[in-house]
Structure 1
Amino acid sequence: MDERTIQTEPAEGVGSSRPVHLGRVPAQPGWMDRHWRPRSPRASRPVVLWAVGAALLGAWALPLEVPGAGWTVAALGVATALLALGRTARANWWWLLLGVALMTLPTLRAASWLTALAVLGAGVALAASVSRGRAARDLVWAPVFYGAAVFRAVPWAGRGLKHVGGGQGGVRVTRTVVLSLLVLLVFGGLLAGADSDFADLIDVVLPAVDGESLVLSAWVFAVLLALVLAGSFLLDSPVDAPEPDRPRRTVRVAEWAWPVGVLVALFAAFVATQVRSLFGGEGHVLRTASLTYAEYARSGFWQLLMVTALTLAVIGVVARVAPRETAGERLWLRSVLGVLVVLALVIVASALVRIWVYQGAYGYTLLRLLVSVAELWMAVLFVLVLVAGARRRAPWLPSAVVGSALVALLALGLLDPERFIAERNVARFAETGRLDVHHLSTLMADAVPALAALPEPQRSCLLSQQLAELEADERLTEWNLGRERARRALAEVDVDLARACSSAR
């Protein structure tokens, strides 16, 4: 409350002024106070305990250097804490489960790039899990609010820490944790020195204690603690995404139907004149003079990008400005946009055919596989838009778009992309005698079981580096299925460490 004095005004018939009003006038509340008022003055005891427990679990388990089971364990800790604390807050638990499913990829696959994408996707799912709505603006604002909630959750949790077990609850909890760690270090060290087998067990379960590992563990603890506290704060005090200031503007049917109709006619003419090349595949390439596989595939790929961007942009603008009050207006909207989406799907299918023909001729690479997955996901987007257009309202569409992207990422990880690429290239080598040694040498341990099937000297030149990297010892939380399979495959073949890849091209 701000103390403000209202200006005085002259009294009637008198030259002096008299006060009109003195007192406290409430200040105008800001957007944060109007839309994001904390329901609870401080964090409850379960919030503090669950957050600290999940952070400690992650600090012990999570290996930052390599993909491993610890990533999944840390994700399970965060998800369990939020699920336990969100029972009465209607948390979107299916988003949390999707995030945990994505975080199983670091346990299953050795590719570090896949772990990075899984962490990014799980972060999107985590933000969506505490979002209040399914509209596009809710999903867009969810990561922003989650980041802002970290700064609001820290003092909120600090006030709750003082009441964990009474007035001195925070001191008691800290003292208990410190004493437990002291017992673990002192007695664990003595017992490890008394027996070598127990010492080996300690080395597997616990990380090496040095300055760098302590700093990394403290950093992981702080990040995970902030994630759980921010999610708990949003579950306790949900926030609404800001509404746009300007109302939705509509135009007459003719104003949008004519431009979109011209675009539909253009797509229809293109599809009609390109029927042979759209689905001609390898036969079309062989029958067409001066047409290479590269030209055939690249033209389809750029068509896809242009058509996808243009079509989705047009659909978004038209859905925003087109009137839908009468049955005739709704019929126009569904008909024109429906035809546009169907024609775009035809070109998407064409691009998929082209990229698969290209890979069959020149071999599979990670980039080409990712392009194929992206094309398939774009096709799913068009189908979702087509289904949404058949209904008058589709509030589920923004969530379906984001969810389908995360599911596509999960499917890519379950496919085991690097092993898939290696298997296809090994099969192509058996048929044609051609092998992309340079690209295969960039793959990680997931590809080893497939590469072990190569003959010499190709096998040794590609596996010698993998053999050296897989000899390092691992803790229990660093265990990874991809690396375990690679070790088993390497144990069954002979590898010449002196073999140079230049002789295997």
Structure 2
Amino acid sequence: MTTPTIGPPSATCSGTPAGSGTRLWRRDRTSIAPTVTLAAALGAGALAALVLRVDTPGFTYPLVGLVVAGAAVVAGRPRPSRGHLLAVAVTVAMLSVATVRGAGWLIALCVVAGWVVGSVALLGVRRWTGIGLAPFAVWCTPTRLVGWVRRRGGRRGTGVRLRAPRVLGVVAVSAVLVTVFGWLFAEADPEFGRMLGGVAPSVHTDDLTAGIVTGSAVVVVSLALAYLWRRPIRLDRLAPPPRRPVAAWEWAVPLLALVLLFAGFVAVQVRVMFGGHEHVMTTPGLTYAQYARQGFWQLCAVTVLTLVVIAIAVRRVNRGAARDRALARVLFGMLCLLAIVVVASALHRMSLYENAFGYTRLRLSVWAVELWFGVVFGVLLVAGIRMRGDHLPRVVLGSAAAGLLIFAAVNPDGLVADRNVERYERTGSIDVSYLRGLTVDAVPALDRLPEPVRSCALRGTRVQPDAWYEFNAARARAREILRERPVGPSASCADTVTLG
């Protein structure tokens, strides 16, 4: 059997890697799109066109995501496993962040993460190569989708024939009937008209084009996912082949040299890494910003270096020899432990920085990333003890998804505002211009500020009423707060307020 190699995207999408006889994607000239799949995809597209607004995150995000997932597996072949159901639950949880948070940057991050988790589960990949390529698999489906759907329309038999023109005609006639009779009933009874206006999605000329584009995209994505569910691309076959084990000294000597270098760095830098406020104040030319940034970039470099070294070295270890396994456990374990020490030092540096200058999104995000790095090193440590890394890619991906959900639950913008309000109560200093740029998630914390600082921080915050299908808990709470305590009249607001 010839080992596949990574080829250009065209080779991958065609099903055969360049220079290989192994097919990643079996040929398909006979499969037919199930009627129920087409109907479900069209339903998902219609729902998205009516209620999904990309610039108004809310309840519709998880709703449309759940419908799209259902359209992919509604045909019932193959049956979803517990792992698939767990992945769907995680993806829907990621999309549900749009229902409880108002920070667009956080919601966008969760949507991307949900897409990655869903793609990995859909294709059943287990290796790093597959996980990296899975989110882009839908780009390989358009040419196959055309034949898949066309064969459905041209099928003869006792089953239901589903042709695109007929489907569009039925949808158009249904829409016209509902619109005409709904308008007549609304004119006949004002109460029914108010009820219908509150329940039916509002369609405006300015967002009609966006709705059509969104709905069409959802239809195509739903069909692509359904096709990949039934005929997945075997992306794991693109992973590099196992390497031949070498003598222990060939990999142990470089690892030992690296471990000694790390240990020497940590030993010499103990005072620098954990010197805290005294070290910053007594070192000429050193600021809190430099102190924190140095720790973070050291952490990034150590993380990448450790992962690369372990990934290369572990492929050269003779796992059949007990002595080699024991030596690998010791060296890999020491590398991970030393990296965890650097994680702790970077977190300590960032803590000092935040205590001195307050919280921001970036600083809080650095905290989250550093903590996740620590978790990754812990996972590597456990994998090194067991000398098994089969589940490592999925465990790392799962830890990232769990960490992101926890990060969203913490409410980053709200926490940043809360800590800055506490700092203002303690020191009398606050950066109003920065807090004014936070999202509606920060409104409850900023509402605790005294006037006129409160009105200055909330200046420009406008929360429009939402339809029922656009419900967002953060916007609803901010709307209630601003209704009970409106922002004061316009006044000159300083960017930075300091009392005393």
User: TM-score, normalised to structure 1's length?
Assistant: 0.87
Q: Deviations over 1:226-274 (max 9, x none)?
A: 2221111112112312345765244332222112111111111122223
User: Are 2:216 and 1:231 aligned?
Assistant: no
Give the stretch that moved more between structures: 295-304 or 164-173.
164-173
Q: Is this contact kept in 1: 2:35–2:162, CA < 8 A?
A: no
Matches of 1:366 and 1:450 in 2, distance apart? Answer: 15
The answer for the alignment partner of 2:177 in structure 1 is 183
Matches of 1:458 and 1:165 in 2, distance apart? Answer: 72
Q: Is this contact kept in 1: 2:429–2:496, CA < 8 A?
A: no
The answer for the alignment partner of 2:162 in structure 1 is 169
Matches of 1:412 and 1:167 in 2, distance apart? Answer: 48
**3-state DSSP of counterpart to 1:42:** coil
Question: Cα distance 1:383–1:503, how it changes in 2: closer, same or farther (>3 A)?
Answer: closer
The answer for the alignment partner of 1:36 in structure 2 is 26
Matches of 1:503 and 1:438 in 2, distance apart? Answer: 5
Matches of 1:110 and 1:74 in 2, distance apart? Answer: 18
Matches of 1:364 and 1:48 in 2, distance apart? Answer: 49
User: Are 2:45 and 1:60 aligned?
Assistant: no
Matches for 1:322-341 after TM superposition, within 5 Å: 322-341=317-336
Question: Cα distance 1:432–1:128, how it changes in 2: closer, same or farther (>3 A)?
Answer: same
Question: Cα distance 1:165–1:209, how it changes in 2: closer, same or farther (>3 A)?
Answer: farther
The answer for the alignment partner of 2:406 in structure 1 is 411
Q: Is this contact kept in 2: 1:426–1:451, CA < 8 A?
A: yes
Q: Is this contact kept in 2: 1:100–1:122, CA < 8 A?
A: yes
Q: Deviations over 1:384-425 (max 9, x none)?
A: 111111113221111111222222221111111101100000
Matches for 1:116-131 after TM superposition, within 5 Å: 116-131=108-123
Question: How many angstroms does 1:302 deviate by?
Answer: 2.1
Matches of 1:63 and 1:109 in 2, distance apart? Answer: 15
Q: Deviations over 1:285-317 (max 9, x none)?
A: 456676543333222222212211211121122
Give the aligned residue type for 1:397: L
Unaligned runs of 5+ in 1: 1-28
Matches of 1:37 and 1:122 in 2, distance apart? Answer: 29
The answer for the alignment partner of 1:17 in structure 2 is none
Q: Deviations over 1:153-187 (max 9, x none)?
A: 23312322455974743365444322221121111
**3-state DSSP of counterpart to 1:107:** helix
**3-state DSSP of counterpart to 1:435:** strand
How many pairs align? Answer: 474
Question: Cα distance 1:168–1:134, how it changes in 2: closer, same or farther (>3 A)?
Answer: closer
User: TM-score, normalised to structure 2's length?
Assistant: 0.88
The answer for the alignment partner of 2:9 in structure 1 is none
Matches for 1:76-475 after TM superposition, within 5 Å: 76-86=66-76, 88-90=78-80, 92-163=84-155, 166=159, 168-170=161-163, 173-241=167-235, 242-243=237-238, 248-282=243-277, 284-285=279-280, 291-466=286-461, 469-470=462-463, 472-475=464-467
Question: Cα distance 1:173–1:422, how it changes in 2: closer, same or farther (>3 A)?
Answer: same
Question: How many angstroms does 1:30 deviate by?
Answer: 6.7
Give the aligned residue type for 2:213: W
The answer for the alignment partner of 1:3 in structure 2 is none
> How large is the RMSD of aligned CA atoms in angstroms?
2.5
Give the aligned residue type for 2:177: V
Q: Is this contact kept in 2: 1:68–1:107, CA < 8 A?
A: yes
Question: Cα distance 1:282–1:54, how it changes in 2: closer, same or farther (>3 A)?
Answer: same
Matches of 1:56 and 1:320 in 2, distance apart? Answer: 50
The answer for the alignment partner of 1:502 in structure 2 is 494
Matches of 2:254 and 2:166 in 1, distance apart? Answer: 70
Q: Is this contact kept in 1: 2:299–2:346, CA < 8 A?
A: yes
Q: Is this contact kept in 2: 1:108–1:482, CA < 8 A?
A: yes
Q: Is this contact kept in 2: 1:341–1:382, CA < 8 A?
A: yes
Greater C-alpha radius of gyration: 1
Q: Deviations over 1:77-96 (max 9, x none)?
A: 11233343455344522222
Q: Is this contact kept in 1: 2:359–2:420, CA < 8 A?
A: yes
Question: Cα distance 1:396–1:40, how it changes in 2: closer, same or farther (>3 A)?
Answer: farther
Question: How many angstroms does 1:352 deviate by?
Answer: 0.8
Matches of 1:90 and 1:333 in 2, distance apart? Answer: 38
**3-state DSSP of counterpart to 1:450:** helix
**3-state DSSP of counterpart to 1:501:** coil
**3-state DSSP of counterpart to 1:130:** helix
Matches of 2:158 and 2:58 in 1, distance apart? Answer: 36
1:490 to 452, 460, 482: 482
Q: Deviations over 1:458-498 (max 9, x none)?
A: 111121311xx21x232222221111111122233242131
Matches of 1:41 and 1:202 in 2, distance apart? Answer: 43
Question: How many angstroms does 1:373 deviate by?
Answer: 0.6
The answer for the alignment partner of 1:23 in structure 2 is none
Give the aligned residue type for 1:425: N
Give the aligned residue type for 2:493: C
Q: Deviations over 1:308-353 (max 9, x none)?
A: 1211121122123333231111112111011010010011011111
**3-state DSSP of counterpart to 1:321:** coil
Matches of 1:373 and 1:490 in 2, distance apart? Answer: 31
Question: How many angstroms does 1:150 deviate by?
Answer: 3.8
